[in-house]
């Protein structure tokens, strides 16, 4: 029966003793980090001044993490495994730091934190200390790809790391609190997308210690048979290890890990030997040990070990309360540090000898420093995928369609290091050319009528933005490349995940040994203006605003207006490093404005005047029509055309913005346009009517320091919409060509009677379109007439 223990005791007495000594050492170092700033080896009685003034950290989860880490090391050494460790309860920072110090990796990365008494004091002092290191398994920690401050994403990161890493085993400790989150609950079935032949393995360890901050955990308090039923249903073979007697738990865990790793090996042999790739039943472990195990049983008469009170700092009054101080000293001495560290403070040989060598140490696994193993993509020349544009607006294409063809060949050229992720929207977003070359990865059952499913697919589709994001993050963090394509509105689902990844990118820029990663690339389509089968619920262009709040060093936003600009933009993004690139582009057929050569130049500049659409003849214009985004560009060009034909004396300048960050000042963003250039393009005092894809406030925000910002009038999404025609959508939000013309007339002084006449015609045209659409259910034919009609002779 799967919940039973191995009958034998796999650890010989001496091995058990040494393993337990390692665990005691890790626990000692954990407690030391939380409490001590001096006297690390307790060479003298503890004194209040040796205690940190602010006690900050999380003890509760740490002994369990240390236990699992120690036992995984044993299996790595015995089996010569490539393994990495993901700490779901990332607040157990001191535990993981302790292990990396015992392994020597910490000292290799940070030589001043030497493996001796002086280094141990530094190690202790720096933890959660001003100027020191954070309390979580942050990017500073060798071997970490997962900080875990926000809970929910450990298992998806683990799977992401395992894809296309056939020799890797990703051990993933999931805290019982984290297991309550939706994203984690949705992660278990990632095994439907894991190919045992070409991917690595994930070994989930669900650590039930019973409590969160103040509450029990749900999975700890449902019947164990129900818990196992869930996990079995998700396709795992769960093994339970439970107890609070260390020796017994050591034996059980060692035996269970041996069994699990045997099964993983057998699964992989079967899949790789026979070529028959099926979804196996992967082993996993449920570990039940007390929260804050080996810590104080009681404090001030209240139970602590095994309760929620062990979550953070069990003894909180150590500096001022002599009883707490004495209890801390007893706690620390209970680990018998004198047996664990030699006279210099180094781990004794029998402990140091337990850790794997070199890159086999989980903290030194090269995959955990993804930039180190990153190989450039082989990119087919995007120019070969260009659409022909004999003249602006002369041809029509779906922007994503052309890029889909290019992505198809990116996939072909990089079969081992690039994947496309999407929540069941790759085809809907018109990237379906990729299926000419590959499948959707799928290890579940198949039926007649299924479309391009297979175990070797390079497209990962699951109806969970969380999983797409988490898998991709794990994939990028271990040195590979990818693109996430989603409906624009629903990418907000991963807002908080983006926050965490942006923070990772920001902090790792300051860590010399961390090498740059491939960028996290979003291709958002079915955007606010064109998601025709759906209505208001599918309209939200605010992800851009969310991303722009992140550190400017890591954030890029692109709004290519047509097919060729999208191609060159995507090529740029896939070559870039360590950014979050947000690209928003349409999927519906729409006019192409720029030839490939023009597109490359325009994208490189990021924004520019489109002289062929302007009537300012290179002189100072009367008004600037600016635009960003495909639909706003279409409306702006149509408005420019209306003005050109009906007010030919008006000098109109059309400016298109593809790189939104160019709008910011040089000081605010590395892409920021210098003020002089900005003023040259946008003028210092002429009205600027800016048609923007998203919420108008962002344009004001980006430009508020510019000289001409008082004259900036932005049209964008006003949170108005429903299921209606595309043109009705822009009318509902006053972004339509007619309204833009009205805006111009209202803002350029002294235009006279002809302009007033045109203004009324525009108002009438809106009304006419409105009524026609409501009557006939489609856009008035005249909308197509009132369009950009090609270059002037």
Positions 701 through 740 that interact with its own copies (CB under 8 A): 701, 704, 709, 719, 722-725, 728
User: Does 695 contact its own copies by CB under 8 A?
Assistant: yes
Member of 60, 63, 92, 235 binding its own copies (CB under 8 A) = 235
Member of 551, 575, 645, 782 binding its own copies (CB under 8 A) = 551
**Which among 76-84, 267-275, 535-543, 653-661 is the span making contact with its own copies, rule CB under 8 A?**
535-543
Member of 24, 71, 74, 91 binding its own copies (CB under 8 A) = 91
User: Does 338 contact its own copies by CB under 8 A?
Assistant: no
Burial 314-351 (b: 16+ CB within 10 A, else e): bbeebbebeebbebbbebbeebebeebbbeebbbeeeb
Beta strands in 54-112 (DSSP E): 82-87
**Which among 124-132, 260-268, 355-363, 569-577 is the span making contact with its own copies, rule CB under 8 A?**
124-132
As measured in angstroms, the least distance from the Cβ of 723 to its own copies is: 5
Closest to its own copies by CB, 45 or 303: 303
Member of 312, 565, 590, 656 binding its own copies (CB under 8 A) = 312
Q: Give CA–CA dist 483/403, Å, rounded.
A: 12
Closest to its own copies by CB, 324 or 417: 324
Closest to its own copies by CB, 115 or 125: 125
Cβ-contact 672, 556 below 8 angstroms: no
Structure tokens belonging to residue 43 = 């060479």
CB-based contacts of 747: which residues, under 8 Å, 6+ apart?
Answer: 623, 687, 689, 711, 713
From residue 194, give the alpha-carbon distance in Å to each of 158, 383, 472, 676: 11, 34, 14, 53
Q: Give CA–CA dist 158/190, Å, rounded.
A: 10
Of the candidates 127, 182, 126, 133, the residue with the CA atom closest to the CA atom of residue 156: 182
As measured in angstroms, the least distance from the Cβ of 643 to its own copies is: 26
Member of 122, 503, 514, 602 binding its own copies (CB under 8 A) = 503
Write down how long the chain is.
Answer: 793
Member of 131, 358, 390, 750 binding its own copies (CB under 8 A) = 131
Closest to its own copies by CB, 73 or 531: 531
Closest to its own copies by CB, 8 or 447: 447
As measured in angstroms, the least distance from the Cβ of 206 to its own copies is: 13
Which contiguous run of DSSP H or E holds residue 195?
Answer: none
User: Does 538 contact its own copies by CB under 8 A?
Assistant: yes
CA 155 to chain CA mean position, Å: 14
Nearest 5°: the CA angle 140, 141, 142 is 115
Structure tokens belonging to residue 461 = 């589709």
Structure tokens belonging to residue 340 = 């664990």
Member of 233, 322, 618, 648 binding its own copies (CB under 8 A) = 233
As measured in angstroms, the least distance from the Cβ of 490 to its own copies is: 6
User: Does 777 contact its own copies by CB under 8 A?
Assistant: yes
Q: Give CA–CA dist 688/698, Å, rounded.
A: 15
As measured in angstroms, the least distance from the Cβ of 230 to its own copies is: 3
As measured in angstroms, the least distance from the Cβ of 233 to its own copies is: 3
Burial 210-228 (b: 16+ CB within 10 A, else e): bbbeeeebebbeeebeebb
User: Does 446 contact its own copies by CB under 8 A?
Assistant: yes
Closest to its own copies by CB, 464 or 633: 464
Closest to its own copies by CB, 417 or 458: 458
Q: Give CA–CA dist 573/559, Å, rounded.
A: 13
Surface-to-core class of residue 358, CB atoms within 10 Å of its CB (0-12 exposed, 13-18 middle, 19+ buried) = exposed
Q: Give CA–CA dist 386/383, Å, rounded.
A: 5
Closest to its own copies by CB, 5 or 192: 192
As measured in angstroms, the least distance from the Cβ of 727 to its own copies is: 10
User: Does 366 contact its own copies by CB under 8 A?
Assistant: no
Closest to its own copies by CB, 668 or 756: 668
User: Does 587 contact its own copies by CB under 8 A?
Assistant: no
CB-based contacts of 267: which residues, under 8 Å, 6+ apart?
Answer: 196, 201, 280, 282
Member of 301, 447, 749, 752 binding its own copies (CB under 8 A) = 447
Member of 5, 38, 77, 192 binding its own copies (CB under 8 A) = 192
User: Does 123 contact its own copies by CB under 8 A?
Assistant: no
Nearest 5°: the CA angle 283, 286, 289 is 150
User: Does 3 contact its own copies by CB under 8 A?
Assistant: no
Binding positions for its own copies, 146-165, rule CB under 8 A: 147-152
Q: Give CA–CA dist 73/341, Å, rounded.
A: 19
Binding positions for its own copies, 598-637, rule CB under 8 A: none
Q: Give CA–CA dist 254/238, Å, rounded.
A: 15
Question: Counting runs of H as helices and runs of E as strands, what totals does the chain give?
Answer: 26, 22
Member of 92, 94, 142, 183 binding its own copies (CB under 8 A) = 183
User: Does 227 contact its own copies by CB under 8 A?
Assistant: yes
CA 389 to chain CA mean position, Å: 36
Burial 261-290 (b: 16+ CB within 10 A, else e): bebbeebbebbeeeeebebbebbbbbbbbb
Binding positions for its own copies, 54-73, rule CB under 8 A: 54, 56-58
Q: What is the 3-state secondary structure (H, E, C) of 235-286?
A: CEEEEEEECCCHHHHHHHHHHHHHHHHHHHHHHHHHHHHHCCCCCCCEEEEE
As measured in angstroms, the least distance from the Cβ of 263 to its own copies is: 18
Q: Give CA–CA dist 528/541, Å, rounded.
A: 6
Binding positions for its own copies, 411-440, rule CB under 8 A: 424-428, 440
What would the x/- binding string for its own copies be over residues 22 to 61, using CB under 8 A? ---------------x--------------xxx-xxx---
Member of 20, 132, 395, 746 binding its own copies (CB under 8 A) = 132
Structure tokens belonging to residue 627 = 């635009």
Member of 536, 577, 667, 782 binding its own copies (CB under 8 A) = 536
User: Does 690 contact its own copies by CB under 8 A?
Assistant: no
User: Does 444 contact its own copies by CB under 8 A?
Assistant: yes
User: Does 492 contact its own copies by CB under 8 A?
Assistant: yes
User: Does 308 contact its own copies by CB under 8 A?
Assistant: yes
Site residue total, its own copies (CB under 8 A): 130
Binding positions for its own copies, 288-307, rule CB under 8 A: 303, 306-307
User: Does 509 contact its own copies by CB under 8 A?
Assistant: no
User: Does 135 contact its own copies by CB under 8 A?
Assistant: yes
Q: Give CA–CA dist 159/180, Å, rounded.
A: 19
């Amino acid at each position: 029966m799967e919940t039973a223990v191995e009958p034998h005791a796999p650890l010989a007495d001496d091995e058990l003793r040494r393993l337990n000594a390692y665990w005691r050492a890790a626990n000692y170092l954990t407690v030391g980090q939380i409490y001590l700033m001096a006297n690390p080896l307790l060479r003298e009685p503890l004194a209040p001044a040796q205690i940190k003034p602010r006690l900050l950290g999380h003890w509760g989860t740490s002994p369990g993490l240390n236990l699992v880490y120690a036992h995984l090391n044993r299996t790595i050494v015995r089996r010569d495994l490539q393994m990495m460790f993901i700490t779901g309860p990332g607040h157990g920072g001191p535990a993981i730091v302790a292990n990396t110090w015992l392994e020597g990796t910490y000292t290799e990365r940070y030589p001043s934190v030497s493996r001796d008494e002086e280094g141990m004091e530094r190690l202790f002092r720096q933890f959660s200390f001003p100027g020191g290191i954070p309390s979580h398994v942050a990017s500073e920690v060798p071997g970490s790809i997962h900080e875990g401050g926000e809970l929910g994403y450990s298992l998806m990161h683990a799977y992401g790391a395992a894809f296309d890493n056939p020799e890797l085993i990703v051990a993933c400790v999931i805290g019982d609190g984290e297991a309550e989150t939706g994203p984690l609950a949705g992660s278990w079935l990632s095994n439907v997308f894991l190919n045992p032949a070409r991917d690595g393995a994930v070994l989930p360890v669900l650590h039930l210690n019973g409590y969160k901050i103040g509450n029990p955990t749900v999975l700890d308090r449902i019947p164990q048979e129900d818990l196992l039923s869930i996990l079995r249903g998700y396709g795992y073979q769960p093994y339970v290890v439970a107890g609070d007697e260390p020796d017994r738990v050591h034996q059980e865990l060692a035996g269970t890990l041996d069994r699990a790793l045997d099964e993983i090996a057998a699964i992989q042999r079967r899949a790789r030997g026979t070529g028959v790739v099926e979804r196996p039943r992967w082993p996993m472990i449920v570990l039940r040990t007390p929260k804050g195990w080996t810590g104080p049983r009681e404090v001030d008469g209240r139970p602590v070990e095994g309760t929620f009170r062990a979550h953070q700092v069990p003894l909180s009054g150590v500096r001022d309360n002599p009883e707490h101080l004495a209890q801390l000293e007893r706690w620390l001495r209970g680990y018998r540090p004198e047996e664990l560290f030699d006279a210099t403070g180094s781990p004794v040989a029998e402990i140091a000898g337990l850790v794997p060598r070199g890159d086999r140490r989980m903290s030194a696994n090269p995959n955990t420093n993804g930039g180190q193993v990153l190989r450039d993509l082989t990119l087919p020349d995007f120019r070969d995928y260009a659409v022909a544009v004999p003249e602006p607006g002369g041809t029509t294409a779906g922007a994503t369609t052309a890029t889909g063809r290019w992505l198809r060949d990116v996939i072909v050229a990089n079969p081992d290091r690039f994947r496309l992720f999407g929540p069941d929207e790759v085809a809907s977003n018109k990237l379906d050319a990729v299926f000419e070359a590959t499948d959707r990865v799928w290890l579940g059952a198949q039926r007649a009528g299924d479309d391009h499913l297979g175990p070797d697919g390079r497209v990962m589709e699951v109806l969970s933005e969380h999983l797409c994001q988490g898998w991709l993050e794990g994939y990028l963090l271990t040195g590979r490349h990818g693109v996430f394509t989603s409906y624009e509105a629903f990418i907000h689902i991963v807002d908080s995940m983006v926050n965490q990844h942006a923070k990772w990118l920001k902090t790792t820029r300051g860590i010399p040994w961390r090498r740059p990663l491939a960028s996290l690339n979003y291709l958002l389509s079915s955007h606010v203006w064109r998601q025709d089968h759906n209505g208001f619920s599918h309209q939200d262009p605010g992800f851009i605003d969310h991303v722009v709040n992140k550190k400017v060093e890591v954030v890029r936003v692109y709004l290519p207006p047509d097919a060729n600009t999208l191609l060159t933009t995507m090529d740029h993004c896939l070559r870039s490093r360590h950014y979050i690139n947000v690209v928003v582009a349409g999927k519906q057929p729409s006019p192409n404005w720029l030839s490939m050569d023009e597109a490359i130049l325009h994208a490189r500049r990021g924004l520019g005047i489109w002289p062929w659409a302007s009537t300012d003849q290179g002189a100072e214009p009367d008004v600037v029509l600016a635009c960003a985004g495909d639909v706003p560009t279409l409306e702006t060009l149509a408005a420019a055309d209306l003005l050109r034909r009906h007010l030919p004396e008006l000098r109109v300048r059309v400016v298109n913005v593809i790189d939104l960050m160019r709008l910011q000042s040089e000081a605010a963003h590395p892409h920021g346009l210098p003020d002089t250039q900005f003023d040259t393009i946008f003028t210092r005092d002429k009205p600027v009517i800016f048609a923007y894809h998203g919420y108008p406030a962002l344009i004001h925000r980006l430009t508020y320091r510019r000289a001409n910002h008082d004259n900036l009038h932005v049209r964008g999404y006003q949170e108005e919409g429903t299921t209606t025609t595309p043109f009705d959508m822009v009318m509902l939000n006053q972004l339509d060509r007619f309204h833009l013309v009205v805006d111009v007339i209202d803002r350029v002084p002294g235009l006279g009677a002809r302009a007033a006449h045109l203004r009324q015609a525009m108002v009438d045209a809106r009304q006419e379109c409105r009524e026609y659409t409501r009557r006939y259910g489609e856009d008035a034919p005249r909308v197509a007439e009132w369009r950009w009609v090609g270059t002037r002779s």
